[in-house]
Amino acid sequence: MFAPGEFAERVASLRPSEPEVRKSDRRRYRTIWISDVHLGTRGCNADLLIDFLDSVDSDTLYLVGDIIDGWRLKKSWYWPAKHNDIVWRLLKRAKRGTRVIYIPGNHDEVFRQFTGLSFGGVEIRSKAIHETADGRRLLVLHGDEFDAVVLYARWLAFLGDAAYEMLMRLNMLVNKVRARLGKPYWSLSKHAKHKVKNAVEFISRFEEAVAKAAGDRGLDGVVCGHIHTAEERMFGDVVYYNDGDWVEGCTALVEHFNGEMEILHWADEVNGRVLPMQQANAA
Ligand SMILES: [Mn+2]
């Protein structure tokens, strides 16, 4: 029997293997959205996500699905300490007063049975309506409910595919080598994906379908995840936001205190950091 309350308590009582960086200068946002972390898989970019979580803070945090990959975990158990560290950080955040809303996706649908409940301060919802500081109402959902609506969902079938897993592994390998050579993180699959015409067409159809659903409900826009492609785009007068993923793109969607939205590309952020040594050399 799966008991998320017990799980939450156990993880919260642990000490993280990767100690939390105490940053008094954490960048604050009104809202943060992240999704498609895929904890429990080798593809999850835990290091970048830990860095992100230690660098930012917000009044509200939405976890927009596929945070834990139950599909993969069922096949083979893969749960390194760093994945605990992420869960620990998310729970800690809820304890410290951030409102954390978890909207399970298709890979963590095991949590959907707990919709309406909360565990360790994390509220579980099937979807949410977020009101921005400038008064726009946004539908927040994972997005897999639109797979059936989109006709040629080839790219999505590919997402659950062994070929995709291979690509992710190759991506990691390439980046291990690149790191050793002192080169910045580079997303192989992002490049591959944009070259595949069908994938681009699918993404476009998906985005349109999700935006239309929000418009039909009389809302100003939508925030979703699922297709691992961060985006901000208008469909008529409906705004579509996708917060991306932490497997390849390593992106988050944030709302500033004036209601302005922004997609953060965390790999670029980390790559662009000036190290103290470099600063000293430049001076
Ligand atoms: Mn998904």
Q: Quick check: 1 pLDDT over 60?
A: no
Angle (CA) 83-154-192 rounded to 5° is: 65
Between the CA of 66 and the centroid of ligand 1 the distance, in Å, is 5
Between the CA of 85 and the centroid of ligand 1 the distance, in Å, is 22
Q: Quick check: 197 pLDDT over 70?
A: no
CA 94 – CA 119 distance, rounded (Å):
10
pLDDT, residue 201, reads 73
Q: What is the pTM of this model?
A: 0.83
Q: Give the pLDDT mean for 90-107.
A: 96
The CATH architecture of the domain made up of 4-143+222-282 is 4-Layer Sandwich (3.60)
Q: Quick check: 57 pLDDT over 70?
A: yes
Q: In sequence order, which residues have a C-beta less than 8 Å from that of residue 272 and are 6 or more positions away?
A: none
Q: Chain centroid to CA 223: how far?
A: 12
pLDDT, residue 162, reads 62
Of 26-35, 104-113, 138-147, 181-190, the range with the lowest mean pLDDT is 181-190
Q: Quick check: 259 pLDDT over 70?
A: yes
pLDDT, residue 75, reads 79
Q: Quick check: 158 pLDDT over 90?
A: no
Match 């239309």 to its residue by tokens.
212
Of 5-9, 41-45, 47-51, 156-160, the range with the lowest mean pLDDT is 156-160
Q: Quick check: 207 pLDDT over 90?
A: yes
Hey, what are 214's tokens?
């929000």
Between the CA of 275 and the centroid of ligand 1 the distance, in Å, is 36
Greater model confidence, 157 or 66: 66
Greater model confidence, 7 or 248: 248
Q: How confident is the model at residue 53 (pLDDT cuts 50, 70, 90)?
A: very high
Over the stretch 211-241, which tens digit does the pLDDT of each residue have?
Answer: 999 999 999 999 999 999 999 999 999 999 9
Greater model confidence, 62 or 170: 62
Give domain limits for the chain. 4-143+222-282
Between the CA of 35 and the centroid of ligand 1 the distance, in Å, is 9
Between the CA of 224 and the centroid of ligand 1 the distance, in Å, is 10
Q: Quick check: 167 pLDDT over 90?
A: no
Shortest CA distance to 109 belongs to which of 152, 145, 57, 154? 145
Hey, what are 84's tokens?
């605990």
Greater model confidence, 80 or 273: 80
Q: Give the pLDDT mean for 1-15.
A: 73
Q: Quick check: 156 pLDDT over 80?
A: no
Between the CA of 65 and the centroid of ligand 1 the distance, in Å, is 7
pLDDT, residue 195, reads 57
Q: Give the pLDDT mean for 138-155.
A: 76
